[in-house]
Chain A
Amino acid sequence: MSNATRLGTEPGKVTRWVILGVVGAFFLVPIIALIEFSFRDGLGGGYTTGHWTGLFDPANARVYRDLFQSIGNSFILAAVTVAIVLLVLLPTMILVHIQFPRLKRVLEFICIVPITVPAIVLVVGLAPVYAVVVRVLGGSIWTLAFAYGITVLPYAYRAIQSNLDAVAVVTLSEAGRSLGAGWMTVLWRILLPNLRRGVLAAAFISVAVVLGEFTIASLLNRRNLQTALLQVGQSDPWVAAIFSLLALAFAFCLLLLIGRLGRDRRNRSSL
């Protein structure tokens, strides 16, 4: 881009560091405070590792049973949500990309809409639906993944679509078919290996969203990590802080992995 088309001038080195420092502090100060808090020994001052080690003490197993069960619930929800993304959204997107390209805009609109709908509004709409779901499928925690499948749509769609746009999906599938491959073989042996990064990114970001979700689970009376943290936090704020940190670290690692995948793709395409 030429300088003539730029709006204003680039900030100086000092300004850039100040901006980075302020934004960094905005995110880091609460996290550092949380870490510091998790080591506090009550309100009297001093520090202890007792809150961390106590979590894994068998003597406390009963105390934290609900919390661990809620973590398990969140992982089940993450797994089912990812399954919905992989089994419903991905084939749909590939099908639309190859066979019905005119529907791309419609699909994009449908997938992006959930980001504009507040969770509370979504729950109001979902409540009667879940009344039916419970009657048909029971009240198991995994059924909440149907709602999460909708909330992760915008993120998963973007991740997969950017990969679809970067790969000559139509040509590759036609080449595969001309060589004798059926549709399933084309999907499994040709398209998926080339869409691996987008699919993994969609899966990871879906996991991150599901692990951080509170509103829908709370309003539909389901127990997941976030609702459990709220509850535990009322009686044992240190444990809530520790699990918040761990969840944050897990989501951070996932996002780091997504970034790494994107970088690998850029490096490879630049060869």
Chain B
Amino acid sequence: MTNSIPTAAPVPESLATDSGATVELVGVVKNFGTHRALNAINLSIRPGEFVALLGPSGCGKTTALRALSGLESINEGRILIDGEDVASVPTNKRDIGMVFQSYSLFPHMTAIENVEFGLRMRGVSAGERRGRAAEALEMVGLDKHSSRYAHQMSGGQQQRVALARALVTRPRVLLLDEPLSALDAKVRVQLRDQIRRIQTDLGITTVFVTHDQEEALAVADRVAVMREGVIEQIGTPEELYATPTTAFVADFVGLSNRLPGEVLGGSIQVYGSTLALLGSGLADGPATALVRPEDVTIESTGIPATVVASSFLGSLRRTQVRLDDDTLVNVQHGVESRPQAGDIVHLKLRGAPVSAQR
């Protein structure tokens, strides 16, 4: 069994959708006993948009997706697909396609029978069913595996069959519940890119749940960062990275250095530099600034620091240094400079706006 993903065929006509659906979650509340998993969340997704729900374990992202699919009932709020409130519509009537985290192919069916299943449920004739299923398998590059059972395929292949199965019925919305998390790193990136390409070609509205920020930032049009049942911030990957509105988002999305500082009149003083504050202003007083590694540079003069370690990351290098007050700082810089552990360097802050927290 190979784990590499072959070049897949273009999206077939039979899978093309007229246009994606709008999806709205309005004040959705979900309680599990006394625990509130979703706390009146609001989310509006445009037709054909690819939105990732990102957050740590237990933040409610999977619950939100399952509420959207109907696999989880909600306690309050409305779930609208193309303006129709589907909160009380059972899963099998919502016209959604879903790919699960764990392998969910029906073990007693071959790949093509799995893909045909949704069409069979919709009463599509046998001939058309077989044709559309074959096209869907071709789209994900598995047309030669159509007669294989789940146990005869690798994890990546199973997830691609699951993707074909979810898309073949031309659903209004595609829901992806951490579909890549069980795969190895290389296949994960390949399948991630394939999902994005197919989604773009089909124009299907897609909601993608992940706890992997790199995955979310790489594929999504917009990312909703969730925490404790609420959406902390939603925006494009660039917005989230460059202008996080909360310290949690700044901390969770990308790498941040936590540097001690002093808030003073809407800005924060950090090691002698004055940095503008992002988000709602903190009251004056001590605070921790969250500074991106690329917003710190190694210069000939500045804040003295000792190199702890330096890692080569391909197109860039990340060096960890220790300041005199024992604060650890990550610095991102070009590969031409190769600091060694124990070297004395000097740091400067670029002056980019930062988030801060107490």
A contact residues vs B (CB 8 Å cutoff):
167-168, 171-172, 174-182, 185, 189-190, 193-194, 268-269, 271
Residue contact A178 to B91, C-beta cutoff 8 Å:
yes
Collect the chain B residues with CB atoms within 8 Å of residue A178's CB: 69, 71, 91-92, 96-98, 166, 175
Q: How far is the CA of A168 from the CA of B165 in the complex (A)?
A: 18
Once the chains bind, are B106 and A194 in contact (CB under 8 Å)?
yes
**B162 CB contacts on chain A under 8 angstroms:** 175
Interchain nearest-CB distance for A196 vs B (Å)? 8
Query: Closest CB-CB distance, B117 to chain A, in whole Å?
Result: 5
B108 within 8 A of A: yes
Q: Find A268's partner among B96, B102, B103, B151 (CB 8 Å cutoff).
A: B151
Known contacts A171-B102, A174-B71; decide if A179 and B108 are in contact (CB<8 Å): no
The minimal Cβ–Cβ distance linking A166 to chain B, given in whole angstroms, is: 10
Select A180's contact among B105, B151, B169, beta carbons within 8 Å. B169
Taking chain A's interface residues, is the majority helix, strand, or loop, or is none over half, making it mixed? helix
B residues contacting A by CB (< 8 A) are: 69-71, 90-93, 95-98, 100, 102-108, 117-118, 121-122, 151-152, 162, 165-166, 169, 175
* Closest A residue to B177 using CB positions: A174
When distances are taken between beta carbons in the complex, the residues of chain A under 8 Å from B70 are: 177
Asked if B122 contacts A180 (CB within 8 A), the reply is yes
**Pairwise interchain contact B121-A171, C-beta atoms closer than 8 A:** no
A172 to B104, Cβ gap below 8 A?
A: yes
Question: Nearest A residue to B168 by beta-carbon distance?
Answer: A179
Q: Which residues of B contact A269 (CB under 8 A)?
A: 151
Q: Establish whether residues B100 and A194, one from each chain, have CB atoms under 8 Å apart when the complex forms.
A: no
Q: What are 8 contact pairs spanning A and B, CB under 8 A?
A: A171-B100, A175-B105, A178-B98, A179-B92, A179-B118, A181-B92, A181-B117, A181-B121
Q: Which residues of A contact B91 (CB under 8 A)?
A: 174, 177-178
Please determine whether A179 and B169 come into contact, CB atoms closer than 8 angstroms.
Answer: yes
Excluding A168-B102, A176-B106, A180-B118, 8 further A-B contacts by CB distance (< 8 Å) are A171-B100, A171-B102, A174-B91, A177-B90, A177-B91, A178-B166, A179-B169, A193-B108
The interface centre, meaning the residue of B108, B151, B175 with most chain A CB atoms within 10 A of its CB, is B108
Query: CB-CB < 8 A to A174: which residues of B?
Result: 71, 91, 98, 100, 104
Contact across chains for B71 and A177 when beta carbons are under 8 A apart: yes
A96 CA / B25 CA spacing, docked (Å): 30
Complex CA–CA separation, A167 to B165 (angstroms) = 20
**What are the residues of chain A within 8 A of B98 when measuring CB–CB?**
174-175, 178
Contact between B100 and A175, CB atoms less than 8 A apart: yes
Assembly CA distance A180 to B166 (angstroms): 11
Contact yes or no, B108 A194, CB < 8 A: yes
